[in-house]
Amino acid sequence: MPIINWLQLHTKLIVIIVGLTAVLEACVFLPNGFLALPLFFVAAFIFLPINMEKFTTALSFVILFSGFFGSYLGIPGNENIFLFRLLIPIHLFLFLFFVKKDWLRLRYVRAFLFLFIAFLIGMMATGFWAPQLGQSMRYLYFIFEWLYVIFLCVYYVRNENIYQMLAKWLTVLYIGILMIGVWECLTGNHLSQSGSLFYETTTSAFQPTGFQFNTNDFASLLTIFFPIVMMSITTWKRKFIMLSGLLGVGSITLYLVIMTNSRLAMLVLILEIFVLLFGWSKIWSFVAVYVLGMGALLVSTFHASGFVQKLLGMVTNSFTDKGDSTSERVQMYQASWNMIKESHFMGIGAGNLPIRLDEYMYGFERVSDNYWAPHNYWLEALANGGLLAFIPLLAFFIAYHIVAIRYWMTEKYSASSAIPLLIGIAFVAASIGLSSTIDKRHLSLGIGIGLALLNICYLQKGRMKQDD
């Protein structure tokens, strides 16, 4: 019978669908039911013939993209346990025991990975004198997440075709995030996990956050992926649609970044636009002049309109009306530096700086809510881990930027070759603009993509030319 024949042909698929449905229901309705998810995958791998190489490759990209959604893909009632964090140990287990490794893919970037591993080990060493081991474990896990995301990028994004595929899907997601941001600005509504639902300010109701918690996080996400998305749009075949996409995505991104009131993000975005136009002008000189001319015409035409005046007013306020915020950050920087010197540059313990800052800012140790964000990734790393952890971290990013600049110069300042450098600049701005950097998955993905691109387009090709 046709039905029986169909069932026989699709037995494995039916078993997987039924089993996965049962596991997902357990995750939702049973206490700690999420523990059934890894058991399901282990059972499936044992009893069903699966091409593990293809499966782990697909799983790696699911991990990378699920990081954008965070707790929105979390277990109800356990939002801190979400898909991204569930899939990482599963992928690690499968990669270690069921997949044939091709370590040659990491041949030219292993120094970067070793530096980041040294950063992790340096932070782990502070556990011997850290006063709060719970905070240390939390901080170390975030470092491990960073390391694993970078590893996934450089290992699986191994050629230009895979990178272009990743960039296309990233562009689709980026445009969707832009639409959510516009919806937030126009309606004042936000997604359920948005910090704008909890802030009590006069502007927070109409400030976009997307899938992030606060506006600065959202601005950093837009800026770090902006060059990747813009260059991906240039690959669209129809010129009119391509130019419309560049103008539309660029304009909306600029509008949303202004709405976030993030000063550094505004400066980074303007720099990115300038560098990309500079790279394009050698090939698209007419297009660049046309776009800039049209932009100037639009600004001059609508300068008297309330909309443009509002945006210009927000830009001005972002740079002039944050005196209290700036002075508070300077105070935290001074306190962090004092703690660094008091620890004799050995570090106070991974993840312990926010607690010590809280005691400093309030003058006493509180029983609850004792967390004060340092707002500086570099001081945070030095204060938490001391020189033992800070030196390899600093070496990692210095080496990254040196290679990115050399690649950009080698390619004669083309727009596409500027992507890794612009990603690095966006990260540096975020590292001193965000309250915390280590727990931001989009930043690790941006650095991972930038390093993968350097590996594909510069390091591998350079060595191949030397071999020839």
Give yes or no: residues 8 and 39 share one domain.
yes
Q: Residue 450 sits in which domain range?
A: 121-328+369-467
Give yes or no: residues 166 and 91 share one domain.
no
Give yes or no: residues 402 and 281 share one domain.
yes
**Can you tell me whether residue 75 is helix, strand or coil?**
strand
Tokens at 269, concatenated = 């975005």
Q: How far is 67 from 331, CA to CA, in rounded Å?
A: 33
Q: What is the DSSP-derived secondary structure letter of residue 455?
A: I
- What residue type is 292 in one-letter code? L
How many domains are contained in the chain? 2
Q: Which of left, alpha, beta for 369 (phi over 0: left; psi -120 to 50: alpha)? A: left
Give yes or no: residues 176 and 311 share one domain.
yes
Task: State residue 370's pLDDT score.
Answer: 47
Tokens at 47, concatenated = 């009893």
195-223 burial: b if 16+ Cβ within 10 Å, else e: bbeeeeeeebbebbbbbbbbbbbbbbbbb
Tokens at 421, concatenated = 């450098």
Give a yes or no: residue 279 inside a domain. Answer: yes
Give yes or no: residues 157 and 238 share one domain.
yes
Give yes or no: residues 127 and 95 share one domain.
no
Task: State residue 294's pLDDT score.
Answer: 56
The Cβ-side half-sphere exposure at 287, using a 13 Å CA radius, reads 17
Task: State residue 368's pLDDT score.
Answer: 47
Mean pLDDT, each 10-residue run in order, the chain (468 residues): 54 62 60 63 66 85 88 68 82 88 90 96 91 88 94 94 94 94 87 75 73 89 95 91 90 90 88 87 57 57 54 52 65 85 88 80 50 78 92 96 94 91 95 85 94 88 53
Give yes or no: residues 36 and 147 share one domain.
no
The Cβ-side half-sphere exposure at 419, using a 13 Å CA radius, reads 25
Q: How far is 39 from 41, CA to CA, in rounded Å?
A: 5
Give yes or no: residues 16 and 77 share one domain.
yes
Is the CB of residue 382 less than 8 Å from the CB of residue 340?
Answer: yes
Give yes or no: residues 36 and 155 share one domain.
no
**Can you tell me whether residue 80 is helix, strand or coil?**
strand
Give yes or no: residues 297 and 192 share one domain.
yes
Give yes or no: residues 187 and 245 share one domain.
yes
Q: What is the pTM of this model?
A: 0.84
Task: State residue 309's pLDDT score.
Answer: 56
Token look-up 């001005």 returns 316
Give a yes or no: residue 339 inside a domain. Answer: no
Q: 426 vs 64, 319, 348, CA distance in Å?
A: 19, 18, 28
